[in-house]
């Protein structure tokens, strides 16, 4: 005679039994862990997508300055950050030899124009239309109304003195400065 326990464990042949299906605690923990990993990967991308234009413009400007300074030091020659198109275009390019001062030797022709002759810039960014400049000063001279200007970075790590205030309609203005002794750029609230 079979014991009751054995009878419950093995149903008679041909009999279909229903079993309640449920997730185990381990399965639930694995699912939650996978969800948290996916969420952790998605949050930085979502922050980038919602970034205001002024934040992106500030980041691009600081990155351009860092790139120009590093290139000048590593290559042992003067490099310029050209600012063209009413401040909408930033391009890191080789500075013309023998030219001093921010107003000399900077062409207002972008590398995107058909008439441009020269090497492509090593760094290029374009600001959206809603970014406006309140001021652009290089070596204490205003270039706000100029078609183009440039900030030069030298092989010894120094640069031209630079200050600019950029604005966007929904945030406070940002002041971007470059310390001429170190060639390092920083950004902060303008007011």
The model's pLDDT over 102-111, given as tens digits with 9 standing for 90+, comes to: 554 565 555 5
Instruction: Give the domain extent around 145.
Output: 53-189
**Rg (Cα) of the chain, in Å, rounded?**
30
Asked, for residue 78, whether it belongs to a domain, the answer is yes
Asked, for residue 9, whether it belongs to a domain, the answer is no
Instruction: List, for residues 151-185, the tens digit of each pLDDT value.
Output: 999 999 999 999 999 998 877 899 999 999 999 99
Residue tagged 């290029």 (tokens): 124
Mapped onto helix, strand or coil, the DSSP state of residue 57 is: helix
- For the whole prediction, is pTM greater than 0.75? no
pLDDT on residue 19? 59
Asked, for residue 101, whether it belongs to a domain, the answer is yes
**Distance in angstroms (rounded) separating the CA atoms of residues 135 and 83:** 13
Asked, for residue 48, whether it belongs to a domain, the answer is no
Asked, for residue 73, whether it belongs to a domain, the answer is yes
Closest CA to 79 of 156, 163, 174: 156
| CATH at 162 | 3.55.40.10
pLDDT on residue 12? 63
Q: Could you count the other beta carbons within 10 Å of the beta carbon of residue 161?
A: 17
Six token digits for residue 58: 């500030």
Asked, for residue 91, whether it belongs to a domain, the answer is yes
Closest CA to 60 of 144, 141, 131, 153: 131
Asked, for residue 44, whether it belongs to a domain, the answer is no
Domain count, the chain: 1
Asked, for residue 14, whether it belongs to a domain, the answer is no
The segments of the chain whose pLDDT lies below 70 read 1-20, 47-50, 98-118
Mapped onto helix, strand or coil, the DSSP state of residue 91 is: strand
Closest CA to 168 of 87, 91, 109, 68: 87
């Amino acid at each position: 005679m079979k014991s009751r326990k054995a009878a419950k464990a093995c149903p008679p042949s041909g009999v279909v039994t229903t079993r309640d299906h449920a997730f185990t605690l381990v399965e639930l923990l694995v699912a939650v862990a996978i969800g948290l990993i996916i969420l952790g990967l998605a949050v930085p991308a979502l922050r980038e997508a919602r970034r205001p234009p002024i934040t992106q413009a500030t980041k691009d400007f600081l990155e351009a300055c860092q790139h120009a300074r590093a290139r000048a030091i590593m290559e042992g020659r003067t490099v310029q950050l050209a600012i063209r198109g009413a401040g909408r275009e930033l391009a890191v390019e080789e500075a013309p030899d023998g030219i001093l001062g921010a107003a000399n030797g900077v062409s207002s022709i972008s590398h995107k124009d058909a008439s441009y002759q020269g090497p492509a810039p090593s760094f290029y960014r374009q600001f959206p239309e809603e970014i406006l400049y309140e001021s652009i000063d290089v070596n204490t001279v205003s270039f706000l109304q100029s078609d183009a200007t440039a900030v030069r970075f030298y092989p010894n790590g120094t640069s031209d003195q630079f200050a600019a205030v950029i604005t966007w309609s929904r945030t406070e203005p940002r002041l971007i400065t470059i310390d001429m002794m170190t060639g390092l750029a920083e950004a902060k609230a303008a007011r």
